[in-house]
Amino acid sequence: MTKLRVDISQVNSFIGNQNWLAVQDEMHEYHRQLITHSGHGNDYLGWLNLPAELDNTLLERIKADAEKIRQMAELFVVIGIGGSYLGSKAVIEALGNPFEDLMGGSDYPYVVFAGENLSGSYHTHLMALLDKKEYAVAVISKSGITTEPAIAFRLIRQHIEAKYGKAEARKRIFAITDASRGALKKLSDTEGYSSYVIPDDVGGRYSVLTPVGLLPIAVAGFDVEALVNGAMNMRETALHSSDFNQNPCTHYAAARNLLYRSGKFVEILVAFEPGMQYMIEWWKQLFGESEGKERKGIFPAGVIFTCDLHSMGQYIQDGMRLLFETVISVGETSTPLVVPHDPENLDGLNFLSGMRLSEINRQAELGTMLAHVDGGVPNIKIIIPSINEYNLGQLIYFFEFACALSGYALGVNPFDQPGVEAYKKNMFALLGKPGFEKETASLRAKLSKP
Ligand code: PA5
């Protein structure tokens, strides 16, 4: 059963009933284009069927490799950037215990990330850690030629080969990349690494339900089958529910586009659970890279409340009225922790004695939503029953499907990212990459102007 729900009751007054009724036909058309593969970017729709088509042999192989890695490693280094790391990081952080390592670790390898930045100090600290720990590596790149992960892999490959010897290092390296193209594929074939394929028709930010996300998530000890089942269930609803009112994806896509058309250009994804921080980062990539093009698109931002109520809360309540919020509201948390009674009551908090923190958090969520709506910030609510693999699988597929619809509503191709090339060209030119001589000269001239 699809347990995720979307509540738009705090949006209606901002968009008007007429618009809400009118957008339904529009959404119906985008839904049709998506499921009949007749919209923009229709050669990148492999993700639509991923959860249903993921065969058991692949899942079994992922689980077997995860077990192998668990036997040989305390640390699992995931090298990748953008869609090649955010999905696994999001799920692992949402499900994990943030203090696990300080508690002495778990039975599963601790997953660390590399190649998602170019920081010398980050990678120096990481290499120092790798000196001390038993580890294995996944190097993930769909294109197989992305600079950041390629540099990190160069460093780590030298380290792992020096530490274990070439033959043993090969057993500890897993490559996840394109079936036939790219430098990583070539290297992996030459070295004989254990490798997984990212399907041609699945773009990076839509790849969490391929080995890109599933291998690291399985290594961290989480139930990848439940994650895929959750996604599969949402797929049924998203694909087959052409009734606008029964489909949470069309609802969300419609609401956010109507808000955008009314001048709400920034969407803030809000969670009241700190573990959801990277789910927000994954969502930011999904929507930002899919929609921000042709001088259009909703700017995706994110906050964790109540923490950020003490920083961004001021702007949201009182600043420029170009925002709307989407709250991931979690029905229940598993913690029974309550506020203790204090006979002295110096802090005046005895009215909360015996109350669960989760209940206080819920009232904070409600109070915040009412205050922000009063302040002119519309509020969409995405309700999931709890944070577990199944519900995260639903949430992931829900966002993917809604993002595709939403991109169509904006009139852009949600599956390309032409804008990402501009920084790469400049970076290569400034670094003196052969073939970029003209660009180097032009940038140097620009930089030397007073
Ligand atoms: O969504 C995307 O396509 C991008 O964010 C990519 O995931 C990111 O640029 C990394 O690319 P690659 O996996 O080819 O190294």
84 lines ligand 1 (CB under 6 A): yes
pLDDT digits (tens, 9 = 90+) for 103-143: 887 899 999 999 999 999 999 999 999 999 999 999 999 99
For the entire predicted model, the pTM comes to 0.97
pLDDT digits (tens, 9 = 90+) for 206-217: 999 999 999 999
Beta bridge partner(s), residue 114:
79
- What's the chain's length in residues? 450
Closest-lying ligand 1 atom to the alpha carbon of residue 205: 1
Mean pLDDT, all residues of the chain: 95
**How far does the centroid of ligand 1 lie from the alpha carbon of residue 80, in Å?**
8
Number of neighbours of residue 229 by Cβ within 10 angstroms: 16
95 lines ligand 1 (CB under 6 A): no
Res 333 pLDDT > 80: no
Better-scored residue on pLDDT, 334 or 398: 398
382 lines ligand 1 (CB under 6 A): no
446 tagged catalytic: no
Banded model confidence at residue 292, pLDDT cuts 50, 70, 90: very high
289 tagged catalytic: yes
pLDDT, position 243: 80
81 lines ligand 1 (CB under 6 A): yes
**Alpha helix segments (H runs only) across 335-420:** 357-374, 389-410
Going along the chain from its start, the domains and CATH numbers come out as 5-39+227-410 (3.40.50.10490), 48-222 (3.40.50.10490)
**How far does the centroid of ligand 1 lie from the alpha carbon of residue 315, in Å?**
32
Closest-lying ligand 1 atom to the alpha carbon of residue 212: 13
pLDDT mean over 250-275: 97
Q: Tell me the best of 44, 85, 143 to mutate to test the pocket of ligand 1, counting ligand atoms within 8 Å of each CB and taking the most.
A: 143
% the chain with pLDDT above 90: 92
Q: Tell me the best of 78, 84, 198, 202 to mutate to test the pocket of ligand 1, counting ligand atoms within 8 Å of each CB and taking the most.
A: 84
Residues in Cβ contact with 112 at an 8 Å cutoff, skipping those fewer than 6 apart: 75, 76, 77, 78, 126, 129
381 tagged catalytic: no
* Alpha-carbon gap, residue 162 to 152, rounded angstroms: 15
pLDDT, position 313: 97
Res 334 pLDDT > 80: no
pLDDT digits (tens, 9 = 90+) for 358-409: 999 999 999 999 999 999 999 999 999 999 999 999 999 999 999 999 999 9
284 lines ligand 1 (CB under 6 A): no
Res 421 pLDDT > 90: no
pLDDT digits (tens, 9 = 90+) for 28-52: 999 999 999 999 999 999 999 999 9
* Alpha-carbon gap, residue 46 to 169, rounded angstroms: 33
Minimal-distance CA residue to ligand 1 atom 2: 204
Of residues 179, 208, 206, 203, the one with CA closest to residue 43: 203
Closest-lying ligand 1 atom to the alpha carbon of residue 148: 15
- Which is the catalytic residue, given 240, 296, 424, 425? 424
pLDDT digits (tens, 9 = 90+) for 164-210: 999 999 999 999 999 999 999 999 999 999 999 999 999 999 999 99
* Alpha-carbon gap, residue 410 to 290, rounded angstroms: 10
Res 1 pLDDT > 80: no
82 lines ligand 1 (CB under 6 A): yes
* Alpha-carbon gap, residue 31 to 337, rounded angstroms: 44
Residues in Cβ contact with 422 at an 8 Å cutoff, skipping those fewer than 6 apart: none
* Alpha-carbon gap, residue 15 to 87, rounded angstroms: 32
pLDDT, position 227: 98
pLDDT mean over 130-157: 96
Label residue 423 exposed, middle or buried (CB < 10 Å: 0-12, 13-18, 19+): exposed
pLDDT, position 125: 98
**Is 9 in a helix, a strand, or coil?**
strand
pLDDT, position 450: 78
